[in-house]
């Protein structure tokens, strides 16, 4: 059991090193998607802030919540 877990760990480690060294198609699309979502969310909040005149601290809280959500989504994808 422990040996199988170690083999899985070793495989995942090599896979992560490969993905960091060589951007595979999957990692490329994940990065593009996360950048698109981050900038899209920020632009939407900035536009909404200008329309409703809410404070920047509220925008920061909303952006932080979405960033935490995106981190969780990326963990599930990987």
Q: What's the pTM? A: 0.32
Mean pLDDT, range 17-40, rounded to an integer = 74
Q: Would you state the pLDDT for residue 18?
A: 78
Please give the Cα distance from 57 to 78 (Å, whole number).
31
Please give the Cα distance from 53 to 6 (Å, whole number).
54
**What's phi and psi for 54, nearest 5 deg?**
-85, 160
pLDDT above 70 (res 13): yes
Q: Would you state the pLDDT for residue 74?
A: 66
Tens digits of per-residue pLDDT, 40-53?
766 666 666 666 66
């Amino acid at each position: 059991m422990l040996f199988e877990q170690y083999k899985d760990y070793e495989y995942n480690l090599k896979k992560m090193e490969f993905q960091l060294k060589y951007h595979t198609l999957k990692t490329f699309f994940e990065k593009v998607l996360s950048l698109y979502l981050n900038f899209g969310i920020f632009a939407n909040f900035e536009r909404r802030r200008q329309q409703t005149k809410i404070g920047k601290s509220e925008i920061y809280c909303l952006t932080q919540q979405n960033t935490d959500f995106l981190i969780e989504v990326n963990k599930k994808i990987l």
